[in-house]
Amino acid sequence: MHLLKHSRRAFLKAAAGSCACALCGGANARVLKYELLASEVESKTWVVHGRNEYFSFENGGNIVNTAFIEVPEGVVVIDTGPSKRFGEQLLDLISQKIPGKPVLRVYNTHHHPDHFLGNQVFDPQIIAAPQGVIDNIEAEGDALTDNMYRLLGDWMRGTDSVAPTQALDASQENVGGRDFSLFYLSGHTSSDFVIRDNHTGVLFSGDLLFMYRAPTTPHADIGDWRQSLAMLRDTDRDLIVPGHGPGDEKGEAIDQTLDWLDWLDGSLRDAVERGWTMNEAMQLPIPERFNSIAVGKTEFERSVVHLYQKYEDELMPAIEIVQ
Ligand SMILES: [Zn+2]
């Protein structure tokens, strides 16, 4: 119990940019080993905590939180990481912590490549997600995988995009003697899947929540995202495991994510209304209150690229000239 408390405390405290140590391990470029470590954040619930960074060869794409849970008859896995190599090393870690029990279920929270490209080391028949996540992986998985090869090179060797085979739509599922509540949301992407272990109260939010790290927006709809955050705020839980960043007992990840999205939305609207170009919008200073948020500048610039055209289309509709 003492060890468990220590582990959760470490997961809660892991701040932006400070986790390239015992919690996540450094990538050793020579042997390309992630050196994954698992924190037991709740009884029989482990989180493999990625760095609060952007993709680089140095981190091998290990920037994401994945998790695994021992249930009475086996193991449940939530997200599988950025590469086949990561999936293999995650499986090794699972068999060290929970020897002799089979993986019964793998959930994918959404179709971003850092969350599902370890899928291929698991039995496809046990990998599950909402139909929307499956459709997104089938439509975009190969292109997203190609981009990861460009970013991460040899870390990706042998990695293929593998979609879940099990489409979920029920609000609950019993896996190996444990009940999970399943929430079908959107906003970070068109299909975001949230899972709560009803035995422990741990809520796995995927990338609807970021903690001490700027949210990513390549497939975002900020209006839908705000609605999902409101719903998560009202959802009972004991601990949130966000898609990126340390654990959260108090709902701070909800506040941080909403604060960033509100600022982003307001800033881009304002820039379009002033008639600024995308390049001018990118020069906007990031408010000091976000100083503790990792990769803010990088993600803001990426968000301008992703979203600026949408704001221009919405706020400056083309004028039809009638002759
Ligand atoms: Zn994502």
CA dist., res. 128 & res. 111, Å (int): 12
Contacts of 192 (CB under 8 A, 6+ apart): 109, 110, 185, 186, 206, 207, 208, 228
Q: Output the CA 161–ligand 1 centroid distance in Å.
A: 16
pLDDT of residue 26: 47
Domain extent at residue 124: 2-251
Q: Output the CA 100–ligand 1 centroid distance in Å.
A: 32
Q: Output the CA 206–ligand 1 centroid distance in Å.
A: 7
Q: Output the CA 242–ligand 1 centroid distance in Å.
A: 11
Q: Output the CA 192–ligand 1 centroid distance in Å.
A: 9
Tell me, what CATH number does 158's domain have?
3.60.15.10
With respect to residue 121, please indicate whether it lies within any of the assigned structural domains: yes
CA dist., res. 294 & res. 122, Å (int): 32
Cβ neighbour number for residue 318 with a 10 Å cutoff: 7
Q: Output the CA 209–ligand 1 centroid distance in Å.
A: 9
CA dist., res. 162 & res. 108, Å (int): 11
Q: Output the CA 219–ligand 1 centroid distance in Å.
A: 8
Cβ neighbour number for residue 34 with a 10 Å cutoff: 26
With respect to residue 50, please indicate whether it lies within any of the assigned structural domains: yes
Q: Output the CA 72–ligand 1 centroid distance in Å.
A: 30
With respect to residue 184, please indicate whether it lies within any of the assigned structural domains: yes
pLDDT of residue 19: 38
Q: Output the CA 86–ligand 1 centroid distance in Å.
A: 17
Q: Output the CA 321–ligand 1 centroid distance in Å.
A: 41
With respect to residue 7, please indicate whether it lies within any of the assigned structural domains: yes
Q: Output the CA 186–ligand 1 centroid distance in Å.
A: 11
With respect to residue 202, please indicate whether it lies within any of the assigned structural domains: yes
Could you read off the pLDDT of 142-174 as tens digits, one per residue? Answer: 999 999 999 999 999 999 999 999 999 999 999
pLDDT of residue 316: 84
Q: Output the CA 218–ligand 1 centroid distance in Å.
A: 8
Tell me how far the alpha carbon of residue 153 is from its chain's centroid.
21
Nearest in space to 78 (alpha carbons), one of 61, 92, 90: 90
Residue 129 φ/ψ, nearest 5 degrees:
-165, 170
Nearest in space to 243 (alpha carbons), one of 135, 137, 116: 116
Number of folded domains in the chain?
1
With respect to residue 301, please indicate whether it lies within any of the assigned structural domains: no
Q: Output the CA 112–ligand 1 centroid distance in Å.
A: 5
Q: Output the CA 73–ligand 1 centroid distance in Å.
A: 30
Could you read off the pLDDT of 281-299 as tens digits, one per residue? Answer: 999 999 999 999 999 999 9
Tens digits of pLDDT across the chain (323 residues): 455 667 777 777 764 333 333 334 444 445 789 989 999 999 999 999 998 888 888 888 899 999 999 999 999 999 999 999 999 999 999 999 999 999 999 999 999 999 999 999 999 999 999 999 999 999 999 999 999 999 999 999 999 999 999 999 999 999 999 999 999 999 999 999 999 999 999 999 999 999 999 999 999 999 999 999 999 999 999 999 999 999 999 999 999 999 999 999 999 999 999 999 999 999 999 999 999 999 999 999 999 999 999 999 999 877 777 66
Contacts of 245 (CB under 8 A, 6+ apart): 14, 16, 52, 65, 210, 211, 212, 213, 253, 294
